[in-house]
Every structure is written in C-alpha cells, then in structure tokens.
Structure 1
Amino acid sequence: QWVVVDPELVRRLRRAAQSQTPSLTAIDALGAALTGSVEVDGEQVQVTAGGALEELRSKIADPEADTTIGTGAARKPPGPPKALAANLRDYQVRGLNWLHRMTSLGLGGCLADDMGLGKTVTLIALHLRRQEGKATAGPTLVVCPASLLGNWEREIQRFAPTAPVRRFHGPGRDLEGLGGGAKGGFVLTTYGTMRRDAERLARQPWGLLVADEAQHVKNPHSHTAQALRTIPSLGRVALTGTPVENNLSELWSLLDWTTPGLLGNLTSFRDRYAKAVEGDRDEQAAARLAALVRPFLLRRRKSDPGIAPELPPKTETEQPVSLTKEQVSLYEALVRELMAEIEEQQGIARRGLVMKLLTGLKQVCNHPAQFLKEPADAKLPGRSGKLELLDELLDTVLAEDGSALVFTQYVAMGRLIERHLTDRGVETLFLHGGTTVKRREEMVDAFQSGEKKVFLLSLKAAGTGLNLTRAGHVIHYDRWWNPAVEDQATDRAYRIGQTQPVQVHKLIAEGTVEDRVAEMLRQKRELADSVLGSGEAAFSELSDSELAELVTLRKTG
C-alpha cells in the first residue's frame, strides 16, 4: 500500500530521532501508545506501540478488564483481601482490581464513582490488598475534609478491624511509632492540616496516599494542591464523585497529581486539548483525550447497566461529624449548668430541665446560631461540623445532577440552612408547618419536575403524605429519636414510583448525646419503638448518673 508522506514532516522526524536528547519521556511514550499519535512540531503523527510498551498499554487500556499484573495471558483476577470484613459487589471488585493494577505498576488513578457506590470500602480493600505484598506494603495516608474524618475512622474500624487507624489532626497530633511497614495502618488528616504539616508528612514513607473529595485540590495553583504534591508515596489515588465540575483544567489537576506528566504541563494541555474540546468542539481531539484519560479514571454511575441491579433499594449511612471549638465550648457549658440544676430538682421540674438540656444539646450540635437564637444576619459558615458536611453532601449530589430531601426537627434550623444555601448559590424549597396547602402543592410540583433540586422539610410538617420520588438522597440533619418517625420521613422518597436507589444520610455529632443515642438504637433496634417512642421524654426518667453518662462529651479520634 502506497502512502503520500510530506517530505518536510519526514525531515522533522529524522531530526527528532537523531537528537541527543530523547524526544519522548516514558510517560510521553505511554501517552502516545494510548492515543495512537504523537505531536511533532505542532503536527499529529500516527504511532504504533510495540514490545513492553504495547504490553503495558494493553494491560491498562480498559480499566475494568479482567487482567492481572504479571506476564503471560490474562488470569482470573483475585477476589477481595481476606482481612476485609465486607462482601464487595462485582463492580467494587473490578474497581479494587483496577486500583491495585495501576498502583502496583507505579501509576496512579482516580476513582470517580457516583456517591453511594462504595468508594471508601473499595479504598480500604485496596490498602489491605497492598499489605499482602512486600513491595506495596506500608501505611496509607488519607487526606479528606474535616467533616469526613469520623466517617473514615468508623468505616475502617468496621471493614478492616485489624488495621490500626489514627487521626493526624488537632493538638498533640503525631506520627510516632508509625513505621513504614504493614503495621502502619491508616493515618487520617484534613486538607488544612496537611497543608500546614506537609514537610512533616513528607518525611514519613507512605505506601499509599489518598485524596478524598479530591475536587478540593482541583485548582493546581492553590497552596493545598501544591502541598499535596510534595508528599511522596508508592501509590496515589484520588477519590471524587465530580472529576470535572467546570472545565477540563480540573481534570488535568487531578490526573497530573495521580500520574505526573501524563497530560503534559497545564499550558500545553490547554492548547492541545482544552481549547480544542471546549471551544472548537474538536471531536478528534476529544477522542484522543478520552483514550489518554480512560485508563487512569474509572467512572461508574448508578444508572449504568449492571450497576443499578446490584444496588439495594435503600442504603442507610450514619455520617459522624466533629464539633467545632465553639460547639464544644457551648456543649460542655450547657451540661455543667443544667446538670447542677437537675441534681437539685425532682418530679415535673426535673423532667422539664432534662428536656431543656437534651433540646439545647441537639441545637448546639446543629449550629451555635440556632442555640443562641442569633439574628438573621449572623455568620453561619465555619461554626458547625454538620453544616460543613451538609455542604459536602449537597455539592456532590448537585454535581451528579441529583436531588435531595433535607429533614430537620426545627423550623429555626431549617431557616438557617435555607439562608446558608442561598448565600452559596443553591436554590432551595422549604416546607414547614406554616406553609399553605397551595404553596405546599407548588413546592412538590417544582421538586418533582426537577425545577429545584434541594427540598428542606420540617420533620413534623412533612413526615407523611408527600410523594417526593425525585429524590435519590435523604439527609436527616438532626435525629428524631423515634425510628418510626424517621422512617416515615425517609419514605417520602423511598416509596412506590421510585425508580432509583435511595441513599439515606444520618448526620451525627461525634462524642455527644446524639452519638450515644444512635448507638442505643443500633443495639436495640427491635425495642426502639417502645423504648424511645416518646423521643427525648424517654430519657427524663434516667437517674442523675445515667443522665450524666448520656450527655457528657467524649473525646473522639
């Protein structure tokens, strides 16, 4: 077969080949093998990989292919590690095998599954799998938003009970005795702490470095993103449900951290791909970018064929959050003040004070502004662990084009959330006892049609009688201590007509009375209706010592 070749292009290629400096780095060569082309002096030239490079390309080209590391024909991939105390679904096993394959080859990866598909348990399984091999063993550092520290710790204790876990956060944080081997377990830290202590963290040998909710470092010029790049590890994994929120430069930032050099520098990436794809709608450039990115980013949605049938119709998750310093101060002061009064009272007066204490503590856990009855213009961000976690959850839900119901017992808290979300540019609906019947119907229509994505609801006003099947997520901002009431509220979304799995998030302030009651409910679910049927009133009959045990703030981490 005869092909017409531009003589000038041939001359340029010869010059590049004869140059003393190699024209392609190893990562450049891999990129050329994946896309099938390389750029020479602004010209796209088709290439074909061979030998070891082609073998590597074939191993990683399809993230969900059933291949294993090693030579020879593809073998049956291994199952979950023996130390994992969980049954993984098929798509989670495929995700685990992909992450293990990439990190074992010295390449990073971004697991970008939808919220609720189990990125956390998959990562925990990866840590355990890597501990089984000498070359990949070592402690895992997880960097996440502060609001997710508690959730990570509980999930590790639940799914990897043999793996040590510690928080590197707050005063007195240390890495003493961590070592570099399998005994290192997990270390959890926040993006803020990592930024401040990057030099200290960089001195510790890490087997795996994980950036959870990795969209937090999507700006490569931020101090946080730059600090993260200074911490060496044997493998890097980014976890996010939203790999691209605004533009392709965010994708570059994630993948240039997990696999440095893959997409070139940011300027060349913008010139070669971002402008062509976003501005010119260049289909060839889009196809080349997809071929280059596909092996390094695994994205599954709940709606994908083969995923939805594996999901349970309803998944309930308790999401622990830490109190802020202000909340801790208010909580402890309230316990000291009212417990002293309670010990001096009896009968109805004592019961009234117990109710006042429990209500006050729940309001402190929600937000200091609710407890202090602050004016409408009071500052809200940065003062409540729950509000920070709510932001995290809703950001992910909305980025996935999902919809959510947010329940609270308190109309005052609902108004605070409504104002806070409005200030962040999130449009909401708020239904409470004062909403007229006509307005109530208009709100339901607006939500069910997809016009509005976030529906705030007072638990009493909206616990029954509503059909809100548009929602794939239900968030209980505060807990109603009668499980039947919570279940009725959840059933606004999880009911006949619902065509998607429903994920229920229950926000719990760590170390507080909320945490203690949640534990009681887990242990005695079958007795919950009878024991806690009257909510807080059930606790008014406790002795002083029992009550003190219930409400005293405990240290976490």
Structure 2
Amino acid sequence: MSIKAHRLAITPLGQLRLVGATEDDLAFGLASELSVELISAFAKSEVDGLVYLVSARCETSLPVSLRYWQSFAHRYFTSLRRMSSSLSKDWKSPDCPDDETLEELLRSAPPTLGLEYLNRDGLRRVWGQLDTHTRSASQKRKGGLAAHLHSLNSDWNLLGRVTFHLAENKKNPDRPFAFLATYTQTESGERKNATPKHVPLSEALKASIAAGDTRQLDALLTPVSKAAESTPAIAKMLQSKALFAPQAWTIAQAYEFFQSVPRLEESGVIVRIPDWWNASKPPRPQVTVRVGSRKESNLSGDALNLDVNVTIDGEPLTQEELAQLMAAREGMTLLRGKWVQVDADRLQSAMDQWEALREEHASGIGFLEGMRLLSGLSVEGGDVDEDTKAWSRIQPGDWLSDTLATLRDPAGKVDLDAGKRLHATLRPYQTEGVGWLWFASQLGLGVCLADDMGLGKTIQVIALLLQMKFGGKGAAESQSPPSLLILPTSLLGNWQREVEKFGPDLKLMVAHRSACDTSLLKAIAKDPTDALSGYDLVATTYGLARREKWIGEMNWNLVILDEAQAIKNAGAAQTKAIKKIPSRGRILLSGTPVENHLGDLWSLFDFCSPGLLGTAAQFKKFVNAKDERQRSARLSSVRKLIQPYVLRRMKTDPRIVPDLPAKTEMRVDCGLTKAQAALYQAVTSELEQALEIASGIQRRGMVLGALMQLKQICNHPALYLKQGDYDQAVSGKYNELRSICETILEKQEKVLIFSQFQSMCEPLANYLADVFGREGLILTGKTATKKRSKLVETFQDESGPPFMVISVKAGGTGLNLTQASHVVHFDRWWNPAVEDQATDRAFRIGQKRNVLVHKFVCRGTLEEKIDDMIRGKKELSRELFGGDEAGEINLTEMSNDQLLSFVSLDLEKAM
C-alpha cells in the first residue's frame, strides 16, 4: 500500500483537510505517513475523513493532530450510542458538548496548521456535520443506525441493546450502590415507532430457557462477553449468572465499576451511571497549590510565593475531613454530601512533594518557574510526576491571577497616554496591543506580538516607545538607553517612514550603510554609548547584528525583532549572536502564529523568555513523549504556558473587522544582488553615452527601451538577458516574494501576483509552485477567452490553487478573484491607475476580507524614485511632467540630467 507523509490543516473557513508534511511536523509527531484510504477520505470531505478515523479500518499510528479529531469524532459516536436504540425509528441527535467543555477541548488542541481558525462555533459545526452525515447514512442503509454503526466498527452493535445501570442506594449505608443489567425492547411488539423500554436482563434468560434456544441470548450477550474479556468483575458475574439479578454493591465494587466504564463502552455495552462521575476527571480531593497570592511590583527574581492546601472543588478541607480521606480504603468516600475518589497513598505523596517544594522555595519562585507550574511543568523545566499531577491543582493566586488577566486582556486596565505625541489615532485593538506591550515591559517580560500582516504592529511599537519616552507627560522622562530594532533590510525604509510620519518626536538612528555614512558607523562601533546618546531607537539589520560587535556590547532598553522568524534556526550563527545582546526587555514581532511550529517555537522563546521552555534537549524530549495521550497533554501544556506571552489578533476576528480599512497598501523594499547591480550600472552607462547623440523620436524610443531594461533587471537578470535560468539567488525580489508567500502559505490564504512583463509570468509561477508546494495558475494575454472563465472558477474554489500570476494588461479588467486576500505588484507600472485596476480584481464586491497590497520596489533604483513620486511628490510630478497627479508619468520628456539622475543607481541603498 502506498503511503505519504501528511499533516492536518484547518482552513480559514474552519474546514479540515490534509496537506503535505514538513520535516518539523514529522520531527515533533505532528505528521506521519498516512494510508491512501485515509487521504482519499479527507479529499472527499472532512466528515468522510472523520468517519474514517473512527472506523475499524483506520490505522492505529496517527499524528497527534489527527488523534485529537479522532477523539472528537469518538465523543460524538459515543454520545449517539448512549442515547440511541435500534428498536426506535425516531432519530435523536446527541447534544453537542456545552461551552465549558468546548473551551476545554480548544485549550487541549495540539499545534496544527491553521489552529487559529478553530473556535467553539467550528467545533459545533463539525459535530453537526457528523450528525447530518450519520443520519443520512443510516437512513440509506437497510438496518438503519445499528447497521451503519456496525459497518464502521463491529463492536458498535446496538442489536438487543444491553445496558448496565449503577445508581446510589442511600437506604443501605453498608452497600450504598445498586446494579442492574437490562436490555431494550418495544412496548408493543412490531408497532412502528414504538417506544423502547428497559427490561431486566433476567427476562431474556428466562425466555431463552423457556424456548430451549440460546441463540438470541448469545447474540444479546455478544457485547457483554467482549466486556468480560477486559473486566474481571463482569466476567465473574456472567459466569455465576449474578449478572441477571439486581445487585447491592459495596463502595469498593462500585469504584471498580466506575473505573471500567470506558472499557465497557468500547465493548458495545451501554452504561448508565450518576452524573457526578466523570471517567476522565473523577471527583477527588486535590493538593491545591496557589502561585503568587501576594502583590509584587515586578516579576524579576524569586517573587512569587507558594500556598499549599488540600481542597475539594477548590475549597480547603478541615483537619477532620482530611483525616476521613486518609482513612478511606475502598477507593471512594462520602464527603460533604458527595462521593469522591480517594487514594490515601497518592494524596499523601502529592502533599509531601508540594510541601517539600514550598519549603525549598520559602522566599518564592521566579515568574518563569511559576508559569511552568501553572501549565503542568516542573520548576526544573521537566514534567510533573503523572501521579502527582493527577492529585494536584495548580492555580494562580489572587495577585498573579489579576496580572495574567491583564496580560490576556489589557483593555481598560492599563492607563496609557501617548496619544498627544503619536501622530495618528490608534484603532481600539491597537490601543489594547500597546497596553499589553507596556504592561509586559513594566513587568520585565519578553513577549511576542503576532498580529496578522496589515494590523499595524509597527505603529503599536512606535506608540510603546513614545509611552516609554514621555510617559503620558509633555516632556521626556529621564534618559534611558536606546532600544534596538533588528529587521530584514527590506523593512528599513518602511520603519523609517513610519517613525517619521507617526512618531517624529522619537529620535531614530538607522545603523546601515544605506542610510548613514561609513564614518558614522565607524564612530558608533568605536564608542556606541557616546555616539548613540540621545537616540530613542536604533534600527539595523539581522546581518549587521550578527557581524557588528558593538551591538552586543551595548546594554539596550528593548531589543525588538521584526519578522522574528529570522531566528527560528537555533543553531545559526545569526541567532546565537542576537540572543547574546543584553537588554532590559525583548519583543518579537511576527505575522504568523508562532505556536504551530514546535521546532521554531523553542528558539523564538529562548530569545524573548530564556529558560521558559527549558533547554532545547529538554523541550524536544518533553513534547516527543512516546505515549500518544501523554504527548497530547504535554502539547496542551506548552500552548497554555506560552499563552500569556503571545498576543495574536487576526483580520477575521469579528472584533477586529469593523476597525480595518478594506484595503491596505504596503511598500516592500527589495535589494539588488551583485549581478543585478552590475547589469543596472551597465545599462545606465550605455544610456548616458547614447543620450549625447540622440534626439527626437529616436531619443524617446531609446529612453523607453532603457527604462524597460532597468525594470527587467530589477525583476530578474534572466528576464533582461532572455535566459531560461531564473535562479532565486540572483534576484532580490524573488527573496522578498518567498518571505511574503511563506506567510500567506502559513495562513492558507491566496495571492494574486501581477507583472507588466508577460514573459515573467511563467518563471514566477514555477518559482511559487516550489514555495507553496503545489501548482498555481497563469493568466496572460495569450490565454484563450474560454479558458479565462475556467481559471477564475478554479481559483475561486476554496480548495483551489493558492496563487495566480497575471500580466497587468491581461488581468486589469473583467476578473472577479475575491478568494485572494493578498495582491503583489511584482513590478511597478508607470500609471498608478493601471495598478489600482489590477488590485481591484481582488478588492471588489464579494470580497469579505481585508485585502493587503504588496508593492515591490528595488531600493536605490528608478523604481524607488517612481514610487516616491507617486506617493509623496505629486505636486512635483505635475510641475515636471504636466500630467494629472494620478496619470501616467512621462519620463521621456525629462532633460538628460534629470533623466540620468532619476535612473542612476544608489549602490549603498540597493545593496
């Protein structure tokens, strides 16, 4: 049987599907090689995939993400079997779990691609899908529900319907429980839709003896016999015939039965027990450890105290009640009017361990250790003993609880006033983000702002820096060291423009040769403290942060990493250098959910909160538990642990949508490779020589030709040289396109890529097929009219290709491509109106999401000057070229000096 490595993904619309696995997914057990049958089932529909997961045909080895959904589907079918009867013709849908249970299920979900799209409504939808599918399949099958369930799993046999009942018997204190076995039959023979009733199993035995035929009884007892194989108590009653009579049970007998309920149900027996018993979380006393009850001004050092008590439902026990528990020896005891599970040895062991820990840390524990305890990890960074965990309840004390609540939702709890200095009005969610960053920085916590692209992470950081500088007052507070911003080179210009626009009161130093003299960089390297005195923010690139020693010698206020995925490789020299940079606080900025890639997660948090996830070896060993159930619990612990450190808002969040503009345009600054720079300079030199002798129409044609050549070079040298090898390494734009599209891939969104060069479309599509791991679509002027509509239909399907490459003129009008929420202008048109027409293929009626427009510009080239002119120098445009400010720029009418100045290469910026 052929098999492939796959992982589960949740689409932006909440649908479940299988996609190709990454090495990281395989390494951490989030993916595995799956059978063709399972892959085909999910390809048919998500509900077909879920039903296959619970069928007897499904293989036992599954990645933890599929185990989670297998368990969810099992929950549905278990509920259905508990309430359904093969003798009833009426369909009864099992109730979906309540909101509290759904929240618990969400918290326990393992890292999954698209996990951010899963919510309670999504779980309800899947439950409803399972119910609709099962009802339809049962109605179509001869034999109804019983036959359908039996086809999925031969153990799911409703025929005869044996039920074990266990109830309290308060009249007999020595035997306080009563047991009865029944089976179901209709009240009036074969009457249609007759109501089934429970009949003591003894009646079936009597009927069998009277008829002298045991075949019906044997069929009825098939699930009971299977249950007896795994449950000695049932086997003993079946052999002695005690099963056919009512039983008065002791506490020990009832406790043994409670523990066997899951095995009994798996055997096909229906079990009715008191509502207060939950097999996965039985009622029991627990050693409750409260972390951080006392108020602390900050979280540095050993600040959090530990309180230890034995409790029931969170309420402390009296000494008499504790003595009663420790004396119980039958597995349960009646306490405060309810039956609770008790194991004196395990409870005492848990008490001893937590008391020893409290005494060892009498002065308190650090915040990181406290957070590990709350998530289920030990102070040392390993796992809490499983027995101790089962009898323990770790919860934040009053002060820490309020602190964590503020971290999770700072709205209205953090008083900020940097608005007078910020030259913009923050949207409500951005104000919350600034409050969260401020509160975390005051506590000394390193955090990750992981908002979607386009939600304004930059302006939130600018507002934070203004708050730090002015504190809501008119004048700056006492001078503190500058903060360090490390980012990809392509974002330097964007940050510089944003700071100048929104935070002009911040003094920014761009420590990069494209923005300052080499002599100044040398002066900074010689004495960084003196040279940077008075600056609020120093921006530099990841490459320089790795190479320049002075960056690691400064003691910074904050170190902020934009596009923080740059340090996901823990073993890289760049990552190691950046983690050594000293600072008072650290902030990660990322446009993708960081918790879904465990390999990257450790490295990112080793930067912002060193020690939180232990060492790399400890973390990998912890999440790679061999036992599937333990692995799932540990992954849930990791998600719980990092939750206070991560703030993520999505464009699809109903609270965010009303605050968003329908369309957000972003300039993407791209560098040139050495090959591009050499070709660019060669073409400009040839143009300079030719301009000396050309005039009139000849000059105009020559200028237009040279301009087109320069734009081709900015795209890729192969386009200008008319070669077939479009190597990523020799194009700065290709590198930026990969970065953006990897985020789009992670978000499972779709993108349109526009180029004015028809011959550029196929190379781009080939390149993106490698990035996305699947083929996309191409639409150019050569595409037949009949094929255009088919391409649109294919793209508009949610499961269709993730990208379409379009030539600007071919795709400027007449296309409705609203499945795309991203538009990339790979090269810039002279006329901005043409670009807007292309953008409107996605941004039009029917588009329900915010559209992000990425406009690629090569730094230091004519592309940057065209963009600057369009964006900020429209008056000059009219003055020089006499055209409308939104019209096409007529570069051919410039003087020779103007033109050469316009197309000349700024090598420092470009490289």
Matching of residue 312 in structure 1 with residue 661 in structure 2: yes
CA distance in 2, matches of 1:23, 1:83: 40
Greater mean alpha carbon deviation, residues 106-115 or residues 516-525 = 516-525
Deviation at 1:414, TM superposition (A): 1.9
Matching of residue 209 in structure 1 with residue 550 in structure 2: no
Aligned residue among 432, 442, 455 for 2:790: 442
CA distance in 2, matches of 1:185, 1:99: 17
Q: How does 1:205-354 map to 2 (within 5 A)?
A: 205-244=555-594, 247-273=597-623, 275=625, 279-280=628-629, 284-285=633-634, 287-354=636-703
Q: SS of the counterpart of 1:47?
A: strand
| Paired residues, number | 543
Deviation at 1:16, TM superposition (A): 4.3
CA deviations 1:44-90 (Å, max 9, x no partner) are 2323444xxx42442234435337xxxxxx85521445332222111
Matching of residue 492 in structure 1 with residue 832 in structure 2: no
Matching of residue 159 in structure 1 with residue 491 in structure 2: no
Q: 2:751 is matched with which residue?
A: 404
Q: How does 1:39-438 map to 2 (within 5 A)?
A: 40-41=384-385, 43-44=388-389, 45-50=392-397, 54-66=398-410, 77-132=415-470, 137-169=480-512, 172=518, 173-174=521-522, 175=524, 179=529, 183-197=534-548, 199-244=549-594, 247-273=597-623, 275=625, 279-280=628-629, 284-285=633-634, 287-374=636-723, 376-378=724-726, 380-424=727-771, 425=773, 427-438=775-786
User: Contact between 1:145 and 1:191, CA under 8 Å: does it hold in 2?
Assistant: yes
Q: 1:28 is matched with which residue?
A: 369
- Structure 2: which amino acid aligns with 1:8? S
Matching of residue 474 in structure 1 with residue 826 in structure 2: no
User: Contact between 1:34 and 1:57, CA under 8 Å: does it hold in 2?
Assistant: no
Deviation at 1:534, TM superposition (A): 7.8
User: Contact between 1:482 and 1:533, CA under 8 Å: does it hold in 2?
Assistant: yes
The two structures, once aligned, show a CA RMSD in angstroms of 3.1
- Structure 2: which amino acid aligns with 1:407? F
Q: 2:77 is matched with which residue?
A: none
Matching of residue 545 in structure 1 with residue 888 in structure 2: no
CA distance in 1, matches of 2:638, 2:378: 11
CA deviations 1:413-451 (Å, max 9, x no partner) are 222322322343353211111122333223212211131
CA distance in 2, matches of 1:229, 1:392: 22
Deviation at 1:184, TM superposition (A): 2.1
User: Contact between 2:376 and 2:384, CA under 8 Å: does it hold in 1?
Assistant: no
RCO higher in structure (CA 8 A, sep ≥6) = 1
User: Contact between 2:485 and 2:540, CA under 8 Å: does it hold in 1?
Assistant: yes
- Alpha-carbon distance change, 287 to 529 in structure 1, aligned in 2, over 3 angstroms: farther
CA distance in 2, matches of 1:413, 1:149: 27
User: Contact between 1:370 and 1:413, CA under 8 Å: does it hold in 2?
Assistant: yes
- Alpha-carbon distance change, 290 to 457 in structure 1, aligned in 2, over 3 angstroms: same
Consecutive unaligned residues of structure 2, counting only runs of 5 or more, are 1-316, 326-341, 472-476
Q: SS of the counterpart of 1:194?
A: helix
- Alpha-carbon distance change, 21 to 327 in structure 1, aligned in 2, over 3 angstroms: farther
- Alpha-carbon distance change, 82 to 246 in structure 1, aligned in 2, over 3 angstroms: same
User: Contact between 2:595 and 2:639, CA under 8 Å: does it hold in 1?
Assistant: no
User: Contact between 2:486 and 2:560, CA under 8 Å: does it hold in 1?
Assistant: yes
CA distance in 2, matches of 1:127, 1:534: 39
Q: SS of the counterpart of 1:63?
A: helix
CA distance in 2, matches of 1:79, 1:272: 43
User: Contact between 1:481 and 1:532, CA under 8 Å: does it hold in 2?
Assistant: no
User: Contact between 2:407 and 2:440, CA under 8 Å: does it hold in 1?
Assistant: no
Deviation at 1:26, TM superposition (A): 4.4
- Structure 2: which amino acid aligns with 1:29? G
Q: 1:460 is matched with which residue?
A: 809
Q: 2:906 is matched with which residue?
A: 554
User: Contact between 2:776 and 2:801, CA under 8 Å: does it hold in 1?
Assistant: yes
- Alpha-carbon distance change, 529 to 213 in structure 1, aligned in 2, over 3 angstroms: farther
TM-score, normalised to structure 1, is: 0.88
- Alpha-carbon distance change, 18 to 492 in structure 1, aligned in 2, over 3 angstroms: closer
CA distance in 2, matches of 1:533, 1:373: 33
Consecutive unaligned residues of structure 1, counting only runs of 5 or more, are 68-73
Q: SS of the counterpart of 2:594?
A: coil
Deviation at 1:246, TM superposition (A): 5.7
Deviation at 1:285, TM superposition (A): 4.2
Deviation at 1:272, TM superposition (A): 4.0
TM-score, normalised to structure 2, is: 0.55
Greater mean alpha carbon deviation, residues 445-454 or residues 13-22 = 13-22
Q: SS of the counterpart of 1:184?
A: coil
Q: SS of the counterpart of 2:485?
A: strand
CA distance in 1, matches of 2:611, 2:501: 37
- Alpha-carbon distance change, 20 to 209 in structure 1, aligned in 2, over 3 angstroms: closer
- Structure 2: which amino acid aligns with 1:542? M
Deviation at 1:363, TM superposition (A): 1.3
Whose Rg is larger?
2
CA distance in 1, matches of 2:887, 2:354: 80
- Structure 2: which amino acid aligns with 1:229? K
CA distance in 1, matches of 2:393, 2:808: 62
- Alpha-carbon distance change, 56 to 21 in structure 1, aligned in 2, over 3 angstroms: closer
User: Contact between 2:441 and 2:585, CA under 8 Å: does it hold in 1?
Assistant: yes
Q: SS of the counterpart of 1:130?
A: helix
Deviation at 1:10, TM superposition (A): 3.5
CA distance in 1, matches of 2:874, 2:848: 31
CA distance in 1, matches of 2:377, 2:570: 28
- Structure 1: which amino acid aligns with 2:680? Y
Greater mean alpha carbon deviation, residues 304-313 or residues 541-550 = 541-550
- Structure 1: which amino acid aligns with 2:836? D
CA distance in 1, matches of 2:500, 2:563: 20
User: Contact between 1:61 and 1:294, CA under 8 Å: does it hold in 2?
Assistant: no
- Structure 2: which amino acid aligns with 1:193? L
